[in-house]
Amino acid sequence: MQEFINSYWQPALYSLLVFIVARLCNKLWIAVATMVIKQNLYEKALLAILYDRLFQACQNYIAEKRISTEELKNLEHLYENYHRLGGNGTGTELYNRCRELPLKE
């Protein structure tokens, strides 16, 4: 009887166990891949929002031809996060132009 179990059932149970582990690994892999894709989309969306806010603020300050210290600090905060997320040179150029503006008194 022990030979029968060792010959037929034991390999079948090992095969079933391998199948279950493989399925679980596959589901985990798909979940991680989906999270990575979503994370990339969130970063791109946040970058776009930061750029839009940076662009609008810079356009306003450049049109006024001056900027206050508080506005410059706020702009710096926006720019730092925009830059850390991989923002391109357009935002940097606008930020640098605003830094060169005379300060409001």
3-state SS assignment for residue 19: helix
Given a cut of 70, whether residue 4 has pLDDT beyond it is no
Q: Regarding predicted confidence, which is higher, 4 or 42?
A: 42
- Average pLDDT taken over every residue of the chain: 91
3-state SS assignment for residue 59: helix
pLDDT confidence of 5, banded at 50, 70, 90?
low
Angle at 93 between CA 87 and CA 60, to 5 degrees: 100
Ranking 3-17, 43-57, 88-102 by mean pLDDT, the lowest is 3-17
Given a cut of 80, whether residue 102 has pLDDT beyond it is yes
pLDDT in tens, 9-55: 888 888 899 999 999 999 999 999 999 999 999 999 999 999 999 99
Average pLDDT over residues 56-67: 94
